[in-house]
Structure 1
Amino acid sequence: MAKECSFDVVSTVDMQEVDNAFQQAKKELAQRYDLKDSGAEITLDKANKAITVAAPAEFVAKQVIDVIASKLVKRGIDLGSVKWGEAQPAAGQSVRQTASIVEGIDKDTAGKINKDIKATKLKVKVQIEGDKLRVSSTSRDTLQEVIAFLKGQDYGQPLQYVNYR
């Protein structure tokens, strides 16, 4: 029997890079003339993987979010892994907006990916293992086709393909 090859489909975010981008954004907020004394603040909760923006107005909050987004992109973090919530009114005229950093593939998305791979009729086995998927086949070429197919799909979060062997 031929040797079986496989790879894992995962969705991970390097929290150290998120922290670095957060620190750069915080520094830019302190230095930019239009945001310096605006009263805008950002906080990062590493444990809950959340970023919170507090600003005196929704317009300023959007500017701060743009600064954070640019820093994340420069650090190689896909913006699809950051899900921003709605702006919530806070004390006075200020607003607060929270983003969650999505890591891991939830059961619904994993099932959808599994179904889509099976619909291609390629000879592969797909196993859902917690927050990742293992795709295996006897042919490396078939695995490459699956990766190419998945790269063309949009599941609402960035996917990485690791442990290819």
Structure 2
Amino acid sequence: MPSFDIVSKTDMPEVNNALDGVRREVTQRYDFKGSNCEITIEGEIITILADDNLKLTQMQELLKGHVTRRGIDAAALDFGKEEAASGNMVRQHVTLKQGIDRELAKKITTAVKQSKLKVQAAVQGDEVRITGKKRDDLQGAIAMIKELNIEQPLQFENFRD
């Protein structure tokens, strides 16, 4: 029976490469000369530390640009609240969205059921498996899911006949 999985994964080595690019650009840019701006990552949380709000927004744009150049959707970045850090600096935590949470999985499965396509959706941990009798039905399900305008980037993997 043909099936495929809907997942939301971020390629962590590419994220690290993007962060290296941001660090390199921060050290070379004229408007960052003499500043203590830095960007670090621990697990799935990126921490941006900047001198002021202007430099923080510039670093956000740099991060989005470098991540996009590396083939990762910028929607995978979840920017948290700006907070004050020591020495009149500003800190912001950016979370990388990984996996499909329960609410999104429920939204996808109900949309598949309401679409009247001859496919079934099942939640399996942090991914959703779609199965059907025909390959064309599965391709229709992919097209329908892409039209849902979900904020989180989704990948369609393990397409099997």
Shorter-chain TM band: over 0.9
Q: Show the counterpart of 1:158.
A: 153
Structure 1 counterpart SS, 2:5? strand
Counterparts of 1:62-77 in structure 2 under 5 Å?
Answer: 62-77=57-72
Aligned to 2:115: 120
1:36 paired residue among 20, 33, 37 = 33
1:105 matches 2:100: yes
In 2, the alpha carbon distance for the partners of 1:19 and 1:152 equals: 31
Q: Distance in 2 between matches of 1:52 and 1:41?
A: 8
User: Aligned equivalents of 1:73 and 1:115: distance in 2?
Assistant: 31
Shift of 1:39: 1.5
Find the aligned partners of 1:103 and 1:162 in 2 and give their Cα distance: 15
CA apart distance, 1:155: 2.2
**Corresponding residue pairs, total:** 160
SS in 1 for 2:159: coil
Map 1:144-155 → 2, pairs under 5 A: 144-155=139-150
Corresponding position: 1:89 with 2:81: no
SS in 1 for 2:81: coil
User: What code does the residue aligned with 2:56 have?
Assistant: A
Query: Contact (CA 8 Å) 2:77, 2:96: kept in 1 or not?
Result: yes
Moved over 6 A (4+): none
Deviation of the 1:92 alpha carbon: 3.4
* TM-score normalised according to structure 2 size: 0.96
For structure 1, the residue ranges without an aligned partner over 5 or more in a row are none
Residue 10 (structure 1) aligned with residue 3 (structure 2):
no
Q: Give the C-alpha shift of residue 93 in structure 1.
A: 2.2
Determine the C-alpha separation between the residues in 1 that align with 2:99 and 2:60. 23
Output the TM-score relative to the length of structure 1: 0.94
Question: Secondary structure of the equivalent of 2:34?
Answer: coil
Q: Which residue of 1 aligns with 2:52?
A: 57
Deviations 1:81-128 (A, max 9, x none): 110001101123211011000110011110011011111011111110
Deviates more, 1:77-86 or 1:147-156: 147-156
**Aligned equivalents of 1:36, 1:24: Cα separation in 2:** 17
For 2:65 and 2:34, the matched residues in 1 are separated by 21
Q: Could you list the runs of 5+ residues in structure 2 that have no partner in the other structure?
A: none
Query: What amino acid does structure 1 have at the position aligned with 2:41?
Result: L
